[in-house]
């Protein structure tokens, strides 16, 4: 098998293993434990379905006294029904590994990628996977927003989390990082924050995300509009909303100088229809026929449709 060019860009500490069935990259810290657990370029070993799965299934493996989570790449929309889990680009999990490492280096929390793998799929495309350390005692932001809507979370705590979410997105954009699937479900929140402790956030699922040297207003606002599209659609489905003051807190975290939030909001709220017709059709098929339904869906609560108030004073 020919080595993929992207493998030349791997950060220090990773080793490449190839076999006729695929190629895997493993971090030196977990190389021996994962081998002992039977994980390799074309073998799963003791990998098993994880109880942590949401809408997208996860798998986990116990190795060296730690738990690691594996995500198998899957298409969204209509592509899910036409190509299944087959991909033409074998480099995607390795590019996600590289980007994840770069984010960690600039101080943005994201679980450490310990392994990435591309395996041939009966000679037709690739099956892609990525493995990360399990961040214990966390819960996804989509569920936290549902707690807030149901009155299970103190308003002051919900506001703090909204502010920190805005700050996280601000710092990602400051470093030129655009998350390709920016939504609350791809943000983990420390459980201690729900009890008034320090708010810690981690960003996950970085597939197709990228860095750009000069992130302009158009691209930045497009990423924020993507977030708004998602939370608006989900809000219509579940008749849910987050208080306007908490959306203001998000903007305050995103724009602490309060110099551009009004213009940003005008651009964000000028929504276009959700995706293309083909994507909407595929999304409908998924809703109708997919058995992989997120059991937390009733708690997937998001931001309001009404314009937010001015960010609160310090």
* Tokens standing for residue 114: 């310990």
| pLDDT given for residue 268 in this prediction | 85
| Model confidence pLDDT, tens digit, residues 2-48 | 578 999 999 999 999 999 889 999 999 999 999 999 999 999 999 99
| Separation of CA 126 from chain center | 21
Q: How many angstroms separate the CA atoms of 60 and 114, rounded?
A: 13
Q: Output the CATH code of domain 138-299.
A: 1.10.510.10
**Residue 208, C-beta contacts closer than 8 angstroms, at least 6 positions apart:** 92, 180, 181
What's residue 249's pLDDT? Answer: 87
Which tokens go with 162? 């909204």
Full strand arrangement of the beta sheet holding 187-190: 138-140, 187-190, 201-203
Phi-psi region of 294 (alpha: psi -120 to 50; beta: other; left: phi over 0): beta
Going from N- to C-terminal start, the domains of the chain cover: 5-133, 138-299
Dihedral of alpha carbons 234, 96, 30, 188, sign: negative
Q: What is the pLDDT of residue 244?
A: 63
Quote the pLDDT of residue 53.
Answer: 66
Selection from 102, 96, 108, 254 nearest residue 169 by Cα: 254
The pLDDT tens digits along the chain (314 residues) read 557 899 999 999 999 999 988 999 999 999 999 999 999 999 999 999 998 866 568 999 999 999 999 999 986 654 554 556 778 889 999 999 999 999 999 999 999 999 999 998 776 789 999 999 999 999 999 889 888 888 899 999 999 999 999 999 999 999 999 999 999 999 999 999 999 999 999 999 999 999 998 899 999 999 999 888 887 776 555 544 555 667 788 999 999 999 998 899 888 877 654 555 555 555 455 455 544 444 333 333 333 333 444 554 54
């Amino acid at each position: 098998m020919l080595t993929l060019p992207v493998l030349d860009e791997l950060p220090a500490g990773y080793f490449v293993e190839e076999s006729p069935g695929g190629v895997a990259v493993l971090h030196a810290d977990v190389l021996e434990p994962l081998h002992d657990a039977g994980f390799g370029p074309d073998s799963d070993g003791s990998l098993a379905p994880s109880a942590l799965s949401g809408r997208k299934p996860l798998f986990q493996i116990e190795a060296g006294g730690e738990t690691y989570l594996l995500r198998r790449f899957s298409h969204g929309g209509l592509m899910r029904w036409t190509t299944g889990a087959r991909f033409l680009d074998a480099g995607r999990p390795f590019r996600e590994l590289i980007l994840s490492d770069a984010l960690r280096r600039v101080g943005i929390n994201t679980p450490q990628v310990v392994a990435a793998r591309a395996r041939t799929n009966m000679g037709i495309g690739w099956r892609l996977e990525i493995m990360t350390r399990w961040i214990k005692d966390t819960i996804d932001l989509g569920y936290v927003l549902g707690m807030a809507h149901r009155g299970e979370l103190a308003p002051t705590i919900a506001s703090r989390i909204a502010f920190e979410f805005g700050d996280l997105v601000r710092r990602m954009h400051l470093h030129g990082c655009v998350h390709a699937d920016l939504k609350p479900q791809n943000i983990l929140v420390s459980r201690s924050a729900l009890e008034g402790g320090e708010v810690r956030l981690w960003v996950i699922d970085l597939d197709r995300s990228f860095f750009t040297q000069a992130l302009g207003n158009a691209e930045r606002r497009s990423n924020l509009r993507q977030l708004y599209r998602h939370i608006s659609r989900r809000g219509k489905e579940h008749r849910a909303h987050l208080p306007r003051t908490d959306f203001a807190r998000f903007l305050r975290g995103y724009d602490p100088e309060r110099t551009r939030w009004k213009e940003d909001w005008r651009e964000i709220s000028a929504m276009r229809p959700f995706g293309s017709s083909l994507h909407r059709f595929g999304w409908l098929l998924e809703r109708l026929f997919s058995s992989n339904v997120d059991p937390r869906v009733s708690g997937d609560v998001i931001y309001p449709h009404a314009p937010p108030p001015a960010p609160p004073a310090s």
